[in-house]
Chain A
Amino acid sequence: MSEHVRVAVVGGGPAGLTAAAALAPQVDGTVLVLERERETGGIPRHSDHPGYGMRDLRRFISGPAYGRHLTERAERAGARLETEAMVTGWAADRALEVTSPRGRRTITADAVVLATGARERPRPARLIPGDRPDGVYTTGQLQQLVHLHHRDVGRRAVVIGAEQVSWSAVLTLREAGCRTVLMTSEYDRPEVYAAFDRPGRLAFRVPVRTRTRVVAIHGRGRVEAVEIEDLRTGRRRRVPCDTVITTADWIPDHELARLGGLRLDPGTRGPRVDATLATSGDGVFAAGNLLHPVDTADVAALDGRHVATAVLAHLRGAPAAPRGVALVADAPLRWIAPQLITPGGPAPARGHLLAWVDSYHRFPTVTAVQDGHAVGHTRLAWPAAPGRVFRIPHALVRRADPAGGPVHLGLK
């Protein structure tokens, strides 16, 4: 079986649905969203608390409501949404192998948008040794257990990580009647915005231990304790608990990008893109957390809107190969997205370069250096903090030489 569409969007999360809604009215032909879950909406489907839709919808709604809203909007725009349809690989360039209860088929498309999102690293990927008891979950699994399947979890949880998503886990645990007895962070300070952190700590009375890592999980059958280590002193102790949540520590779901031979960025581990979100594959684009693990859903959604321009240009026959000078993240920056920028050319989504930092800077100055020469610096009014995306106005690199070498971004 095979089928041809104008645009195939892989992944029906905020990024994919928004891309489809933006494209469908403007494309002469089918815009098809392929989603492997039973419902579209992506991660927000099971993230049942308010905090979605601020930047894209100018609203403040719950994850499930947000997912439904984006789904309806894409449908109204004329996109075709197909659920329980998983793209398992490529048959050729822009030809997707798809499995669904309706059959196994190949879908060819004139343009493909990858919007497969990011996941949290589970325990094995974090190399936490010890026993292998039940009761160790990622936030994703926890929220599906509680919100979609109404399951009980334990009574005493240790949450690894203190990012925003970690507090989302605490909320879910509380709803399920499970107390968070400890949150650990390897950083000097909890990673979330102060606005969330203080009230969060007060409201939930969750002790947060910074500079602390979990070095082992104990328990036969069910979790009985974790062993934590204070990174400052090396001292270790056991914390009794019956549930462990491994939060944050994101990795893009880049399987299709890699199988398709797209060039990846070693920092984000997502496909390398230019400001228009074109990848190295002809007619293959990317959007959402696949590109920046991990930002909020509204930013992923706005990527989806942003990518439409380049997709339409490609459908009109314009060459869409990624262009621009390369951006390089220097420590303490871990990664930067997009990785290619044309000075004076198209701006990235929302005019921002997105970055990740490994240490906290209250008043960061970002510097741009090309071929040994400073080409820009900007002092920002917002902090650079580990565990959340750090936004840098792209005007920083507007004076870079379009024909020059890579531009190194760093912090001062």
Chain B
Amino acid sequence: MNPTYDVAVIGGGIVGAAIARLLGGTPLSTVLVEGRDDVGDGTSKANTAILHTGFDAKPGTLESELVARGYHLLGSYASEVGIPVERTGALLVAWTEEQLASLPSLLEKAEKNGYRACRLVDADEVYRRVSALAAGALGALTVPGESIICTWTTNLALATDAVNRGVTLLRGKRVTGVTGGALRFDDGSSVAARWVINAAGLGADKIDELFGYDRFTVTPRRGELFVFDKLARPLVPVIVLPVPSKVGKGVLVSPTIYGNVMLGPTAEDLDDRTATGTSEEGFAFLRTKGAELMPTLLDEEVTASYAGLRAAIDRDDYLISLDEDQRYLLVGGIRSTGLTAGMAIAEHVVSLLSDHLDVSARPGLPPPPRMPNIGEAGVRPYQDAALIAADPAYGQIVCFCERVTRGEIRDAFASPIPPAGLEGLRRRTRAMNGRCQGFYCGAEVQALIENEGETR
């Protein structure tokens, strides 16, 4: 007989993992269910990976509050568990007189959001900071706190922490029905739970319907991105943001935590929630934008392109709501800030539950996990003489472009949440994410995956 859990969390993205982690710290028994074969395989894997200060949120919204809080929560959790973060800062650059004139109001808005470090700077200062920027910048707003972070490690750390705290993780279990306190999965199995938390991202409206609601529709808003070669990184020392317009945050150029440069995202509303492919139009648009922002960037090689789907809903804020009768809680509409806000969303959710469940801290929690460093700013295993001396597997580089060692691949498979395949391994180690995309190491990595898979 299966146990009945106190709480089932649907969705192993950043939001669901953060919630499960907090529940794992209470006396409640919790199950985290994910429809795909790995955690962090939805929107949480394909975003622009910026730790937002929340300077540009809509003041007074729940999103504004949770992004600001999440910024600090995730920032300190990152240093605790070793999630790579680089405090690069951002420049929000004005290219037209109209945009220039709007900067002071953005500064005011930032202050309304409780963020007071923004400053206005002139064009000279812009080029002093980013000399490769195209000609024609008129001035900028600085946002010193905007940072880059590893979204993959964030999701994995939260989920690992949850599992270490006793949360049961079920992967490859897509929820297709809810009946009398049980979640039914696509494979015919089911799990019983007293409470259900819906953190299903793009699938949240479908789960909501299973509880009899018809209150929102998720519109997948596709964002396509280019990742440029690491050799381009010196061109982009800080995040370069556009002035936001009605259609969204616009196209940015940013360094990535892995030492590359990112250009994007596009913004395109779709019907198909699985349309994570890239498009000719998207590529053409990115190339045009790139040429406008930083022509020399286009001389560099593109290492990767990808598309993520924002879970946009037809309202201006997160939609978090508790249904006492059905013992059901919805976490919906976490569109373009959920990486940053995830831990604060979890806090908010648990406080909503506190009227109904015992969410007091449980003694004897395990220490937080220590995550492998896959960021470029910290010391990577291949650079660590002492580590290699102690274990030569860290000196055996398998993926040359990203300098991923045999030791790291082995560790990933031995971790509490091992990868289910190549994609998962890429997110845990960066293997095969580099400029050659497998020309040199693809076959070797595939062989390692099969061997490691067999010995487990």
On A, residues with C-beta under 8 Å from B are 1, 36-37, 84, 86, 88, 99-105, 119-125, 127, 129-132, 137-138, 140-141, 144-145, 148-149, 151, 215-216, 220, 251, 255, 258
Contact = CB atoms under 8 A, between A and B. Distances in A.
A251 B438 contact: no
B272 to A, nearest CB: 11
B396 A84 contact: yes
Question: Per DSSP, are chain B's interface residues mostly helix, strand or loop, or mixed?
Answer: mixed
Contacts of A137: 438, 442
B439 A140 contact: yes
Given A86-B382, A127-B305, A145-B442, 4 more contacts: A104-B384, A124-B303, A124-B437, A129-B282
Contact of A132 (B277, B435, B436): B277
B403 interface: yes
B392 A140 contact: no
Nearest to B277: A131
Contacts of B303: 124-125
Contacts of B384: 104
Which of A102, A144, A258 lies at the interface centre, i.e. has the most chain B CB atoms within 10 A of its CB? A144
B436 A122 contact: yes
Interface of B: 227, 230-231, 274, 276-280, 282-283, 301-306, 382-385, 388-389, 392-393, 395-397, 400, 403, 435-440, 442-444, 446-447
B436 A119 contact: yes
B437 A88 contact: no
A263 to B, nearest CB: 15
B129 to A, nearest CB: 23
Contact of B400 (A86, A105, A123, A215): A86
A88 B438 CA distance: 18
Nearest to A253: B436
26 contacts: A84-B397, A86-B397, A88-B382, A88-B383, A88-B403, A100-B396, A102-B392, A102-B395, A103-B388, A119-B436, A119-B440, A120-B439, A122-B439, A124-B305, A124-B437, A127-B283, A127-B302, A129-B278, A131-B277, A132-B277, A141-B443, A149-B443, A149-B444, A151-B443, A215-B280, A255-B231
Contacts of A215: 280
A356 B370 CA distance: 51
Contacts of A140: 436, 439-440
A103 B385 contact: yes
Contact of A100 (B274, B395, B439): B395
Q: Which 4 A-B pairs have the closest CB atoms?
A: A122-B437, A144-B443, A101-B392, A140-B439
Nearest to B405: A99
A104 B390 CA distance: 12
Contacts of A103: 385, 388-389, 395
A125 B229 CA distance: 9
A120 B438 CA distance: 10
B305 A145 contact: no
Contact of B279 (A37, A120, A129): A129
Contacts of B440: 37, 119, 140-141, 144
Contacts, number: 117
A1 B384 CA distance: 12
B439 A119 contact: yes
Which of A101, A121, A149, A151 lies at the interface centre, i.e. has the most chain B CB atoms within 10 A of its CB? A101
A120 B303 CA distance: 12
Nearest to B442: A141
Which of A99, A102, A105, A132 lies at the interface centre, i.e. has the most chain B CB atoms within 10 A of its CB? A99
B277 to A, nearest CB: 4
Contact of A141 (B227, B383, B439): B439
A129 B280 contact: yes
B280 A216 contact: yes
Which of A105, A125, A148 lies at the interface centre, i.e. has the most chain B CB atoms within 10 A of its CB? A125
Contacts of A251: 301
A215 B283 CA distance: 11
Nearest to A120: B439
Which of A102, A104, A216, A251 lies at the interface centre, i.e. has the most chain B CB atoms within 10 A of its CB? A104
A407 B275 CA distance: 52
Contacts of B282: 129
A137 B438 CA distance: 8
B437 A123 contact: yes
A64 B393 CA distance: 27
A258 B437 contact: no
A121 B393 CA distance: 29
A302 B376 CA distance: 38
A22 to B, nearest CB: 26
Contacts of B439: 119-120, 122, 138, 140-141
B374 to A, nearest CB: 16
Contacts of A84: 395-397
Nearest to B305: A124
A102 B393 CA distance: 9
Contacts of A1: 385
A99 B305 contact: no
Contacts of B383: 88, 99, 104
Contacts of A101: 388, 392-393, 395-396
Contacts of B227: 124
Which of B382, B389, B439 lies at the interface centre, i.e. has the most chain A CB atoms within 10 A of its CB? B439
Nearest to B280: A129
A104 B301 contact: no
B436 A129 contact: no
A100 B282 CA distance: 41
A250 to B, nearest CB: 11
A23 B444 CA distance: 32
Nearest to A220: B274
A102 to B, nearest CB: 7
B182 to A, nearest CB: 30
A198 B335 CA distance: 56
Given A36-B400, A138-B437, A149 B280 contact: no
A219 to B, nearest CB: 10
B306 to A, nearest CB: 7
Nearest to B306: A132
Contacts of A127: 283, 302, 305
